[in-house]
Amino acid sequence: MECATIFYDKEHYFPMHLHPDRYTFSYILNGSANLICNNSMFILKPGDLVIIPPFVAHQTLIEHFFHYKVIRVPKLHSFVSLNRSQLGLTIIKDDSLYNFQYNQWFDLIRTNDNEKIKIPHVFEPFLNNQTFDLTKSKVLLKEALIHLENNFNRPIPVEELSDLTHLSESHFQRLFKANIGISPMRYLQNLRIEKAKEYIKVRNGFTDIAYDTGFFDQSHFNKYFKINVGMIPKRYADLVKND
């Protein structure tokens, strides 16, 4: 588990993205943002708590400023089979019990060895540990996702993924987008940024991180990191390493 306090002080529109291997628990401190998920839009305000499981595609639109705390709970090799008619995420509107428990949890992670910290009981129901009977197409998608996870630091053309799953490129892309919520190439870029965020937390040297996550150079890395995260890697490092 890890935590951070994130500040956005100007307009930024995040592309549609997801978190493939972690749950995020975000508590809004100040400002507002529009959250888009499954063709629905929600206005996030101070006191709101947003819980997003792995593989739930979403987009955030910040018009002025937005400050929030985030707790990230890893879940390795997740593949959550959601009903596309369901929202997928949870928004709790300014609930004093949840907010109190969240702030206690955040402070424990920030000041202690988080390997020994237990998830508060009120948040355990949001951690989906169910297993699903996967259809043949979902099994193929899972193979593609594992392949992307294991090879994210090199170019992976769609043709390689379609060959792996024995589907045509067009069929594979339609299947991927319908179930994951973003295109395979957007997912690969998303995955590289998520890996970079993990590396930044524990490593120095942005040039090495850029190459290790599959970017051509640091300039290329900085550009896509800012598009996806809303700030350059240096500023992100300053925020997450101070918590």
Record the pTM: 0.86
pLDDT for res 165: 93
pLDDT at 74: 86
User: What pLDDT is recorded for position 76?
Assistant: 57
Written as one string, the DSSP assignment of 29-95 is EEE-EEEEETTEEEEE-TT-EEEE-TT--BEEEESS-EEEEEEEEE-TT------TTS--SEEE-S-
Mean pLDDT of each 10-residue bin along the chain, 243 residues long: 91 91 94 93 96 92 94 70 61 94 93 78 80 73 93 95 94 93 94 94 90 92 93 91 68
**Residue 88: per-residue pLDDT:** 80
Q: What is the pLDDT of residue 134?
A: 66
Residue 17 tokens read as 């993205």
Per-residue exposure over 62-75, b if at least 16 CB sit within 10 Å of its own CB, e if not: beeebebbbbbbeb
Distance, in Å, from the CA atom of 104 to the CA atom of 117, rounded to the nearest integer, reads: 11
Tokens 């529109």 -> residue: 13
